[in-house]
Structure 1
Amino acid sequence: MAPKDMSRMRISDAERDQVAEILREAAGEGRLDLTEVDERLNAVYSAKTYADLEPIVADLPTGAGGPSSPAPTGVVSPQHSPAGPVGQPLKLKAKGDSLVRKGDWTVPHRIEIDARFGSTRLDFREARITTPVVEVWVDASWGGADIILPEGATAEVDIDSSWFGSVRSDVDSIRRNDATHFVVTGAAQGGSLRVRHKRSGGWASFLT
């Protein structure tokens, strides 16, 4: 009996997630830009077999061996990984679940959030922000993300909201020298994302 061609075997959701982590790690190292990451992530979650995954990571050191390669060093599979050294992104995962960060927490230069099919709320009002510019990459496709900024902070929002997604920003986009500036990128295909300051007064205040 001829041996099975493993490249034609069907892959699991866990293996798709493993390759997605490889892509995010490569983006954090500067090997891929955000557009390339989005394109490759779409390909990962459309993949059916090992053969479909191999070309997605073939040009990356951690992915040269395909999905059987070990996960990148430092990737943590629970709900979120802690912030690493200065310059390392904080990676949060709320896929199919809910995630809230508020109160006193440390904000690095870059945050990466997988919020697909889940709900995420990031409240920066009492956070310890370590840099004048904070990059937030979030995939809120088929889910929702609510980002609450400190009073006076500005934000440049560039989100792919195709496939009936909704993106709303209630803050100024022009950067000022006396306030933290946020750069929010990613996707909200079929999902929703809002960037705002604190609501005040009336029933809306109960939602903050």
Structure 2
Amino acid sequence: MTENTVEPSGVGPVAGGHLRAADSDRDQVSTVLSTAFAEGRLSREEYDERIDGLLAAKTFDDLVGLTRDLVDVRPAPATVAPVGPRIDMVAASDETDRMIAIFSGAERKGVWRVRRRIESYAIFGGVDLDMREATFESPVTEITGVWCFGGLDIKVPAGVEVRDQTTGIFGGSDVKNVGEPTPGGPVLVIKGMAIFGGVSVKGPRPAKRWGATALSRRSAGGHHSHH
């Protein structure tokens, strides 16, 4: 039965397993075997048998079989630098994305493409834009609209810069939990009028932190009653 030639982490060749093993490579394998024996993962008989194999080993392939079940042979996960929201202008559309909600609702969520211009109108209704999994088609996205007895709710991923330029008439806007923008990341500009309505922009929910007061209340088993 042919064994896979996957080299254990830290024990094995950088190149092909057919290469001759050096004394330093045997020393590494000997350390692995001794540690496994000390931890009880090898019996005395197994340890002696593998040491005999180590002394007879000539190539890296010979060494691999001695430690395959003792070390993690899976490749180390690639280190990926954190990135901000994705901007893809290759297939960008010049058309305006219009969303109208009159006594109803309209939404965009999941994986979708955020166009450069979005028009949003809500009259006794609501428009929901969830951009957390979306791809932005432009470095700057402009949302314009009117929200009358209705609202616009936007969820953005971390790294987006939000510029709120809305005007409120018996209404208003609220931007929270957005955090610091990613350099070169998307910019979201919101322009329009909220009349007896509102615009809400929310970033990723921050991790919950127990303050000293909350901890003391919890440890004391105290609860507040709401009337």
TM-score by length of 2: 0.47
Equivalent in the alignment of 2:145: 138
Q: Hey, what's the Cα distance between the residues in 1 that align with 2:204 and 2:181?
A: 19
Which of the residues 179, 184, 201 maps onto 1:178?
A: 184
User: SS in structure 1 opposite 2:165?
Assistant: strand
Deviation at 1:171, TM superposition (A): 5.7
Question: Any idea what the Cα deviations from partners look like across 1:108-144, whole Å, max 9, x if unmatched?
Answer: 1100011121011101110121111101113112112
Equivalent in the alignment of 1:110: 117
Counterpart AA for 1:197: G
Equivalent in the alignment of 2:16: none
Once the two structures are superposed, the pairs formed by residues 20-59 of structure 1 within 5 Å of their partners are none
Contact 1:155–1:174 under 8 Å retained in 2: no
Q: Hey, what's the Cα distance between the residues in 2 that align with 1:171 and 1:136?
A: 19
Which of the residues 153, 169, 173 maps onto 1:167?
A: 173
Q: Hey, what's the Cα distance between the residues in 2 that align with 1:139 and 1:149?
A: 20
Cα distance, 1:136–1:122 mapped onto 2, change above 3 Å: same
Identity of aligned residues (%): 29
Residues 1:94 and 2:73 are matched in the alignment: no
Structure 1, unaligned stretches of length 5 or more? 1-84, 203-208
Which of the residues 191, 199, 203 maps onto 2:197?
A: 191
Deviation at 1:92, TM superposition (A): 1.0
TM-score by length of 1: 0.51
Q: Hey, what's the Cα distance between the residues in 1 that align with 2:121 and 2:136?
A: 21
Structure 2, unaligned stretches of length 5 or more? 1-91, 209-227
Q: Hey, what's the Cα distance between the residues in 2 that align with 1:156 and 1:171?
A: 14
Deviation at 1:166, TM superposition (A): 2.2
Deviation at 1:86, TM superposition (A): 2.1
Q: Hey, what's the Cα distance between the residues in 2 that align with 1:141 and 1:130?
A: 28
Deviation at 1:174, TM superposition (A): 8.8
Q: How many residues align?
A: 118
Once the two structures are superposed, the pairs formed by residues 75-90 of structure 1 within 5 Å of their partners are 86-90=93-97
Contact 2:159–2:180 under 8 Å retained in 1: no
Q: Hey, what's the Cα distance between the residues in 2 that align with 1:90 and 1:177?
A: 26
